[in-house]
């Protein structure tokens, strides 16, 4: 994810509320007594609570066990109760989904990140995926279709999906890179296929739209909206599509005034200096392009600002802290909810310069070191997020 002007080249309610199944432990009661039917024309986060999935809970509880300071340990255990999205970032990791469904109560919604496009993350190395350019059929049959099967088998559970972080934004700002040119058709067809196949009654979908420091540049707003809307329409304008996700795995403030980079020499070219302005400005462009424009915003790691040397520095930002906990109380009609999409404590990328997936952004002065491969737990980073959390735990 690289998005400053200097690095652009690289860079609710359900229709009906199903009743909860009975259990001696309501929090662990899985699913509802009847099928869930989400109305994607409404904000489903007004009725459903983002589920604290058991995979992240296990990571956090293990992290807490390793903390000797009693006060910090107590705070760490509170993180385990925070609703967080589960990343299905490989075909193998689809295996996490069934176990994650075992304790989702009726009043909760399970957040999932769909993230395995062929040639994934075409403008970076740290999170390159398993599927090569041209393996679109594998993406469809071995990845998307398998997830669809599981979601169909659990009609009594509500799901919120973030679709393919970084993919379409890269086609707007980094299309001059050969890797993104090679990936473009697969991205567009793959995302459209995902939107069409995952269009199920118990699902609400948000397509990733980068953030204000990426598609928020004045020159990127209209092309970005047109890119996303084109894929939405290619999917048949699915009924369960709600809008966009922003700031996924990001660091931007929701409403900081003036913006974090408002004093930069190129700030005059970007009117979207925080995510609130971004979803309003970009949302208007999306509406004009004929696409639903409500948003969810990742606040998982944006508790501290003023840490990055440049807006485009995206990897393991040093000094970061957990941000606002998931809530539908955003103060904005367009913002459905603040959510935790990126699981805090999991690395953005390795700082090992000899690693195949080493990306230079993970070696920048404002990046935390040492850091393991993307998705791998970093205990020291988790403890830093915890200590710097705003609001505190």
Taking the CB of residue 191, how many other CB atoms lie within 10 A of it? Answer: 23
Contacts of 7 (CB under 8 A, 6+ apart): 310, 312
Residue 68 is given by DSSP the state -
Whether 39 is catalytic is no
Q: Are 373 and 356 in contact (CB under 8 A)?
A: no
Q: Is 89 annotated as a binding residue?
A: yes
Catalytic choice (39, 103, 116, 166): 166
| Token pair for 132 | 């090569």
Rounded distance between C-alpha atoms, residue 344 and residue 247, angstroms? 14
Catalytic choice (121, 298, 336, 359): 121
- Tell me the sheet residues that pair with 246: 297
Q: Is 314 annotated as a binding residue?
A: yes
What DSSP string runs through 228-268?
A: HHHHHHHTT--TTEEEEEESTT----SS-SS-TTTTSTTGG
Q: Are 198 and 159 in contact (CB under 8 A)?
A: no
Whether 348 is catalytic is yes
Give the residue carrying structure tokens 């996700």.
Answer: 245
Q: Is 87 annotated as a binding residue?
A: yes
| Token pair for 22 | 């009975």
| Token pair for 25 | 């432990």
Whether 255 is catalytic is no
Catalytic choice (116, 298, 336, 348): 348
Q: Is 211 annotated as a binding residue?
A: yes
| Token pair for 245 | 């996700």
Rounded distance between C-alpha atoms, residue 244 and residue 296, angstroms? 7
CA-angle at 285, arms to 280 and 290, nearest 5°: 120
Rounded distance between C-alpha atoms, residue 196 and residue 207, angstroms? 12
Residue 144 is given by DSSP the state I
Catalytic (active-site) positions: 121, 166, 348
> Residues comprising the binding site for substrate?
87, 89, 211, 214, 314, 342, 346
> Residues comprising the binding site?
87, 89, 211, 214, 314, 342, 346
């Amino acid at each position: 994810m690289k998005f400053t002007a200097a690095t652009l080249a690289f860079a609710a309610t359900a229709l009906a509320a199903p009743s909860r199944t009975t259990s001696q432990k309501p929090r662990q009661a899985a699913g509802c007594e009847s099928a869930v039917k989400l109305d994607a024309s409404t904000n489903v986060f007004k009725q459903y609570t983002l589920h604290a999935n058991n995979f992240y809970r296990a990571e956090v509880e293990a992290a807490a066990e390793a903390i000797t300071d009693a006060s910090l340990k107590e705070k760490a255990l509170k993180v385990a109760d925070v609703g967080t999205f589960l990343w299905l970032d490989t075909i193998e990791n689809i295996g996490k989904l069934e176990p994650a469904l075992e304790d989702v109560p009726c009043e909760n919604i399970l957040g999932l990140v769909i993230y395995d496009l062929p040639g994934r993350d075409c403008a970076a190395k740290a999170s390159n995926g398993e599927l090569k350019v041209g393996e679109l059929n594998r993406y469809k049959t071995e990845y998307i279709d398998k997830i669809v099967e599981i979601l169909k088998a659990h009609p009594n559970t509500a799901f919120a999906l973030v679709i393919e972080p970084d993919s379409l934004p890269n086609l707007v700002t980094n299309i001059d890179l050969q890797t993104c040119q090679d990936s473009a058709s697969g991205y567009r067809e793959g995302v459209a296929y995902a939107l069409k196949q995952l269009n199920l009654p118990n699902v609400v979908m948000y397509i990733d739209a980068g953030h204000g420091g990426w598609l928020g540049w004045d020159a990127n707003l209209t092309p970005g909206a047109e890119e996303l809307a084109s894929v939405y329409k290619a999917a048949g304008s699915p009924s369960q599509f709600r809008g966009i996700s922003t700031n996924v795995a990001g660091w931007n403030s929701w409403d900081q005034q003036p913006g974090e980079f408002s004093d930069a020499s190129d700030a005059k070219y970007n009117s979207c200096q925080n995510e609130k302005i971004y979803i309003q400005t970009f949302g208007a462009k999306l509406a004009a392009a004929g696409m639903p424009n409500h948003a969810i915003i990742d606040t998982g790691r944006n508790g501290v600002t003023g840490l990055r040397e440049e807006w485009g520095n995206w990897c393991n930002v040093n000094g970061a802290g957990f941000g606002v906990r998931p809530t539908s109380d955003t103060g904005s009609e367009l913002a459905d909810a603040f959510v935790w999409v990126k699981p805090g404590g999991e690395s953005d990328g390795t700082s090992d310069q000899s690693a195949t997936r080493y990306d230079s952004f993970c070696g920048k002065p404002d990046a935390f070191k040492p850091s393991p491969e993307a998705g791998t737990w970093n205990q020291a980073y988790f403890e830093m997020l915890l200590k710097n959390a705003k609001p505190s735990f």
